[in-house]
Amino acid sequence: MTALNQIYKCNICGNIVEVLHAGQGTLICCGQPMELQQEKNKDEGLEKHVPIIEDLPSTSCEVKDGVKIKIGSVEHPMEDNHYIEWIEVIAQDGKIGKKFLKPGDKPESDFYTRKQVVGARAYCNIHGLWKSN
Ligand SMILES: [Fe+2]
């Protein structure tokens, strides 16, 4: 049984999937159940992985336009063998935005929304799934 927006990984081939519609079945890849990626925010290494949400400066019309999400209070490495694969923002109205990153990119992204942002997630290719506090 799955739940909306859960992330599962195949530990054999490396496939990673996100649940867009929950179902009763077990997700199978390479002949075995995929592993549910738990959202971490208090584990070892939190300073380099927990997303930090900052308001973007207001525009001239003083409307809040969005947020900057940075990965880690200490910037996460973005090396070929260790990097943040994506950053996701979750707004109060249920909208989700995602930015995919590659080695060499800065581990941050701006997201534009006039709705309140209620959380953010990020995925490290080595240390897994992290969620903002
Ligand atoms: Fe990491």
Ligand 1 centroid from CA 105, angstroms:
14
Ligand 1 centroid from CA 94, angstroms:
27
Give me the residues paired with residue 20 across strands: none
Is the Cβ–Cβ distance between 26 and 9 less than 8 Å?
Answer: no
Nearest one of 65, 73, 87 to 131, comparing CA atoms: 87
Ligand 1 centroid from CA 59, angstroms:
34
Q: Tell me how long the chain is.
A: 133
Is the Cβ–Cβ distance between 125 and 115 less than 8 Å?
Answer: no
Is the Cβ–Cβ distance between 7 and 16 less than 8 Å?
Answer: yes
Long-range Cβ contacts of 106-110 (<8 Å, 24+ apart): 106/75, 106/78, 107/70, 107/71, 107/72, 107/75, 107/76, 107/78, 107/83, 108/68, 108/69, 108/70, 108/71, 109/68, 109/69, 110/56, 110/66, 110/67, 110/68, 110/69
Structure token pair of residue 76? 């996460």
Ligand 1 centroid from CA 84, angstroms:
7
Question: In a structure prediction context, what are the per-residue pLDDT tens digits for the chain, which is 133 residues long?
Answer: 999 999 999 999 999 999 999 999 999 999 999 999 999 999 999 999 999 999 887 665 555 688 999 999 999 999 999 999 999 999 999 899 999 999 999 999 999 988 899 999 999 999 999 999 8
Ligand 1 centroid from CA 15, angstroms:
18
Nearest one of 119, 64, 115, 65 to 87, comparing CA atoms: 119
Is the Cβ–Cβ distance between 39 and 127 less than 8 Å?
Answer: no
Look at residue 114 in the predicted model and tell me its pLDDT.
Answer: 84
One-letter identity of residue 12: I
Look at residue 62 in the predicted model and tell me its pLDDT.
Answer: 55
Ligand 1 centroid from CA 130, angstroms:
10
